[in-house]
Structure 1
Amino acid sequence: MEFPFTGEPIPASEEAVYAAFPSYRQHGLAMFGPDRVVYSADALPILQKLYQTPLHADDLWLLTPPKCGTTWMSELAWLVNHDCDFEAAKSYLVPDRAHFLDMPVLASPRGREAMTASGSRMMMPITDRPRPWHIQTHLPLNFLPPALLDTCKVIYVVRNPKDAVVSFYKMLQNNKTLSPELTVDQYAELYMADRCISTPFFSNVLQAWKQRNHPNMLFVTFEEMKQDLRGVINRVAAHLGKQLTEKQLEQLERHLSFESMKDNQWVNKENLGYRKTDSSTGESQAFMRKGQTGDWKNNLSTEVAQKMDVWMEENLRGTGLELVTELPKK
């Protein structure tokens, strides 16, 4: 089963891209597949291997674009699928309980080499993990095994891209992937132009949206989780064929609150170097930063926010999908 796509290099003449992502300048970036998804130029063999990931009916796959609630939903789904075993959840979500499938393709060649040399379990082959597998991935559906939806339960989570782009920018700045001179507005412009790692955003989302009625697909938004967490927990439980007691629902709601998640060492990625403070600015560098809807207003300029509104409208027109950028205050 061959990966059906090839890559087209992003030329060095696109200086804005390589100035933004200096760690990729040496090896280059490329666009893969009909939607021209951006990864390191050497990603094709890795994508081929991920496309051949074995499928089992009792595995659970969680698909999201970056910074759209991956960790939040992953912890929720893992606990529901493991009958609310909070004691067993006292081990790292990643890499202990969940496998981040596309870490090798998201990392720069230099970052990949460093993680491999250090023996990081983030780079272990999925086939080395005990089953059943709990899998996280930002890969679009057409980059995943073709029989995925007909074989496994899949949950897809999306967040409005105005908040997602700010959160992604902050994370990439913290882990030194981006140039320190790059502003959030400049990053948002590259994001809308599909010149950032793991973009384009909308082709990824709309592939899943078109499959929302497949019996093995549950499509959820980050904003639904913010507005009605209990309702989403119940939807996930129904999707996974689980029944929860009132006590379990109450425990899950408390456990999955943003403040609880942010302070939970097993999910907040402290072990991966996050949850520190920039000594020069005093700004938090935690992986879980604010978890808000509408925080884009505190980061994006009015001009760029308006450009994103137009971009969203153009890409969502006629799809029936609505992405909420602000929530009413409770």
Structure 2
Amino acid sequence: MSFKNLKVERIEDQLAITLSKLYPTDKFDLVKIGEKKWFLSDKYVENGDKIYSFEIRPDDTWIITYPRSGTTLTQELVWLVANDMNFDEAQRRTLIDRFPYIEFTLLYKHILFCFSIETMMDSHTISTIISNNEKKNLYKYTVEFVQNQLSPRFIKSHMPLDLLPTVINSDCKIIYVARNPKDVVISWYNFQKDCKIFQYQGTFEQFCNNFINDHVNYSPYWEHVKEAWAMRHKANLLFLFYEDLIKDLPGTIKRVTVFFNKSYSDEQIAKLVEHLKIENFRKNSMVNQPSPRSTMEPKEFIRKGKVNNWKELFTPEIEEKFNKWIADNLKDTDLIFPN
């Protein structure tokens, strides 16, 4: 299917009103895209073909996840494994430079609006006075920046595979990471509440309801994960669980090492394990960078990194609702989360 033939359903009526109250700073409408009704900013209608038809190189590496599924940790792990454990370069260059997020400015064009909140200036004024250095930082978040990277390129995306046809029809390396949806919803809620781009104003219970009903960015969650799970046997796709990253990091590193046809000593793997420990990772300024000029604190971007953290916030009512939702969505699949 071509990009122009993707079905577009506008979010209207009461749902649009409700979402506008939950996200008062979001100046763009929301849409459902394609047959699976992916929940995205309407900026995707205008700009999405840049990613939908993105020209792939055979030595590209893509990390694809539903948001808050261990993406940043996996990026650093994969980059170091693929680049001969070059810790020196990893400590000089930000992860944004080494592993850019391809759709950020494509979907979140109101980033200049975020600047205007900070400075009390309008977005047009901001766009004319931001420094060259800030413009350079913003460029790191554009499709053009990714296109112009020297090979081998390393690319992060939260887009579903359904909307990345050139990626899934190529031989480039794809790493997909899935995480228990109960922990995803906790992390996604905290991120949207703390991040200036979203500034979510609702309750956790409201967020859970929207998550279950596929009214949160990049949803539906189950379609996102299941389509990658269905492709897990492809030679160029490595499917990982976040829970395995946390519970057996050395074992996961070895799986990634095999995927890249690399060989490392036990000492090198131990060094990478230490580098990726959450307490060290959170202090690493090269990876803990939420977004350009973000007012989020590092502790809010890279948070606890725990498994089963949902138990701290779920009420019995929310847990019961999630258990039913999960059971209903796992009926037609052999997908099983490690915990």
- After TM superposition, the score normalised by the length of structure 1 is 0.89
User: What is the aligned partner in structure 1 of residue 122 from structure 2?
Assistant: none
Matches within 5 A, 1:316-327: 316-324=330-338
Q: How many residues align?
A: 317
1:177 CA displacement: 4.3
Aligned with residue 163 of structure 1, among 183, 198, 223: 183
Q: Deviations over 1:101-152 (max 9, x none)?
A: 1213442x42266689352134331223222210111111110133535320
Matches within 5 A, 1:250-269: 250-269=270-289
Is contact 1:17–1:190 with CA below 8 Å preserved after alignment?
no
Matches within 5 A, 1:162-201: 162-178=182-198, 181-201=201-221
User: What is the aligned partner in structure 1 of residue 49 from structure 2?
Assistant: 48
Q: In the aligned structure 1, how far is the partner of 2:174 from the partner of 2:234?
A: 10
Is contact 1:268–1:275 with CA below 8 Å preserved after alignment?
no
Q: In the aligned structure 2, how far is the partner of 1:82 from the partner of 1:34?
A: 38
Q: Which amino acid aligns with 2:243?
A: E
Q: Deviations over 1:232-273 (max 9, x none)?
A: 101001111111111211111101111111111111116745
Is contact 1:94–1:122 with CA below 8 Å preserved after alignment?
no
User: What is the aligned partner in structure 2 of residue 281 from structure 1?
Assistant: none
The unaligned stretches of length 5 or more in structure 1 are: 278-283
SS in 2 for 1:50: helix
Q: Deviations over 1:91-110 (max 9, x none)?
A: 45442101201213442x42
Is contact 1:190–1:196 with CA below 8 Å preserved after alignment?
yes
| Pairwise CA RMSD | 2.2
Is contact 1:19–1:179 with CA below 8 Å preserved after alignment?
no
Is contact 2:100–2:141 with CA below 8 Å preserved after alignment?
no
Q: Which amino acid aligns with 1:58?
A: D
Q: Deviations over 1:4-50 (max 9, x none)?
A: 413210004213222222233x4311100111111112321321111
Is contact 1:63–1:156 with CA below 8 Å preserved after alignment?
yes
Q: Which amino acid aligns with 2:21?
A: A
- Whether 2:82 is the aligned partner of 1:81: answer yes
User: What is the aligned partner in structure 2 of residue 19 from structure 1?
Assistant: 21
1:70 CA displacement: 0.3
User: What is the aligned partner in structure 2 of residue 299 from structure 1?
Assistant: 313
Is contact 1:194–1:200 with CA below 8 Å preserved after alignment?
yes
Q: In the aligned structure 1, how far is the partner of 2:276 from the partner of 2:205?
A: 31
Is contact 1:64–1:70 with CA below 8 Å preserved after alignment?
yes
- After TM superposition, the score normalised by the length of structure 2 is 0.87
Is contact 2:66–2:224 with CA below 8 Å preserved after alignment?
yes
User: What is the aligned partner in structure 1 of residue 139 from structure 2?
Assistant: 121
1:285 CA displacement: 4.8
Q: Which amino acid aligns with 2:336?
A: E
User: What is the aligned partner in structure 2 of residue 312 from structure 1?
Assistant: 326
Larger mean Cα displacement after TM superposition, 109-118 or 309-318: 109-118
- Whether 2:268 is the aligned partner of 1:248: answer yes
Q: In the aligned structure 1, how far is the partner of 2:224 from the partner of 2:211?
A: 13
User: What is the aligned partner in structure 1 of residue 35 from structure 2?
Assistant: 34
Q: In the aligned structure 2, how far is the partner of 1:74 from the partner of 1:273?
A: 21
Q: Which amino acid aligns with 1:49?
A: K
Larger mean Cα displacement after TM superposition, 34-43 or 212-221: 34-43
User: What is the aligned partner in structure 1 of residue 119 from structure 2?
Assistant: none
Q: In the aligned structure 2, how far is the partner of 1:105 from the partner of 1:215?
A: 30
SS in 1 for 2:175: strand
- Evaluate the alpha carbon distance shift between residue 271 and residue 147 of structure 1 in structure 2; reply closer, same or farther with a 3 A threshold: closer
1:185 CA displacement: 1.5
Q: Deviations over 1:282-303 (max 9, x none)?
A: xx85211100111111112221
- Evaluate the alpha carbon distance shift between residue 43 and residue 147 of structure 1 in structure 2; reply closer, same or farther with a 3 A threshold: closer
Larger mean Cα displacement after TM superposition, 37-46 or 252-261: 37-46
Q: In the aligned structure 2, how far is the partner of 1:78 from the partner of 1:214?
A: 21
Aligned with residue 164 of structure 2, among 131, 137, 144: 144
Identity, in percent, stands at 28
User: What is the aligned partner in structure 1 of residue 61 from structure 2?
Assistant: 60
Higher percent of residues as helix: 2
Q: In the aligned structure 2, how far is the partner of 1:101 from the partner of 1:57?
A: 17
Larger mean Cα displacement after TM superposition, 117-126 or 221-230: 117-126
Matches within 5 A, 1:270-289: 272=292, 285-289=299-303
Q: In the aligned structure 1, how far is the partner of 2:318 from the partner of 2:11?
A: 24
Q: Which amino acid aligns with 1:228?
A: D
User: What is the aligned partner in structure 2 of residue 69 from structure 1?
Assistant: 70
